[in-house]
Amino acid sequence: MKKYLILAAAAMLSLTACAQNNKKMNENKTLIAWFSWSGNTEAVVNHIAEVTGADTFRIEREKPYPVEYDPCTVDAKQEVDNNVFPAIKGLPENFDRYKTVIVAVPVWWYTAPMPVRTFLEKSGLNWKGKTVIPLCTAYTAEYNTLKDIVKATPDASHLEGLAVITTKMNGEDIDKKFPQIDAWLKKLNL
Ligand SMILES: Cc1cc2nc3c(=O)[nH]c(=O)nc-3n(C[C@H](O)[C@H](O)[C@H](O)COP(=O)(O)O)c2cc1C
């Protein structure tokens, strides 16, 4: 009988330790909230998720953008120029459990696509206590995109972001950028 009691107590202790570890892991979990149209940012996000084990959430405009490049740029420009916050599809589940949120976007007209601004500023998510890390992919330069993500989350604290420049689309040469991305992740201790 005594032996069984000791075994039961040991099992309880190990279950408690396990639950505490899980809680700790959940509280420190990283989310990558991302938007991508042609696949470059998506490919970067997939790589980061693989390396870090972070969860991912895709930000999408409720009304999809045109699949052709030129009409898409016209649509996107109209939103940026007129400061339109378009409706987006859904929000991440259990947002509270994430301490760190990487916000990954393509540069659209020198800044973040407007659906991302909806996600950051108009969706009702609470950014207090979060650490936001901005990331973008672009054809020429990031302009103010990283700063604009910081500005859009004034309640959060922030860590150094990353701009990945690529002249290709559809994630074609993203694997060449992995060393740069990995070095950045290492610097951030992610
Ligand atoms: C609507 C639109 C606007 C863009 N505006 C810019 C820009 O202002 N500066 C830039 O360097 N690249 C610009 N690009 C290129 C994208 O930022 C670049 O190709 C990015 O890597 C695409 O990411 P994605 O494949 O995840 O959509 C634009 C692309 C699109 C579709």
With a 6 A CB cut-off, is 189 part of the ligand 1 pocket? no
**Among the residues of 67-170, which ranges form H helices?**
69-81, 114-117, 145-151
With a 6 A CB cut-off, is 38 part of the ligand 1 pocket? yes
pTM metric for this prediction: 0.89
Report pLDDT for 12.
58
Report pLDDT for 64.
98
Residue 16 identity (one-letter amino acid) = T
Among residues 103, 109, 120, 102, the alpha carbon closest in space to that of 81 is found at 109
Answer whether 80's CB lies under 8 Å from 143's CB: no
Report pLDDT for 14.
57
With a 6 A CB cut-off, is 37 part of the ligand 1 pocket? yes
Q: Take atom 8 of ligand 1 and give the residue whose Cα is closest.
A: 109
Ligand 1 atom closest to residue 164's alpha carbon, by position in its atom list: 21
Among residues 101, 114, 164, the alpha carbon closest in space to that of 136 is found at 164
Domains observed in the chain:
32-187 (3.40.50.360)
With a 6 A CB cut-off, is 98 part of the ligand 1 pocket? no
Q: Cite the beta strand spans of 8-146 per DSSP E.
A: 29-34, 55-58, 98-106, 131-138
Q: Which of 107, 109, 172 to mutate to test the pocket of ligand 1 (most atoms within 8 A of CB)?
A: 107
pLDDT in tens, the chain (190 residues): 556 555 555 665 555 554 444 444 555 799 999 999 999 999 999 999 999 999 999 999 999 999 999 999 999 999 999 999 999 999 999 999 999 999 999 999 999 999 999 999 999 999 999 999 999 999 999 999 999 999 999 999 999 999 999 999 999 999 999 999 999 999 999 9
Label residue 126 left, alpha or beta by phi (over 0 means left) and psi (-120 to 50 means alpha).
Answer: beta
Report pLDDT digits (tens) over 11-21.
655 555 544 44
Buried b (16+ CB within 10 A) or exposed e, 100-124: bbbbbbbbbbebbbbbbbbbbeebe
Report pLDDT for 95.
98
Q: Could you tell me the distance, in angstroms and rounded to a whole number, from the CA of residue 173 to the centre of ligand 1?
A: 15
Token couple for 32: 């990558």
With a 6 A CB cut-off, is 169 part of the ligand 1 pocket? yes
Ligand 1 atom closest to residue 77's alpha carbon, by position in its atom list: 1
91's CB contacts (< 8 A; 6+ apart) are: 57, 119, 123, 125
Q: Which helix (H) or strand (E) holds 186?
A: helix 178-187
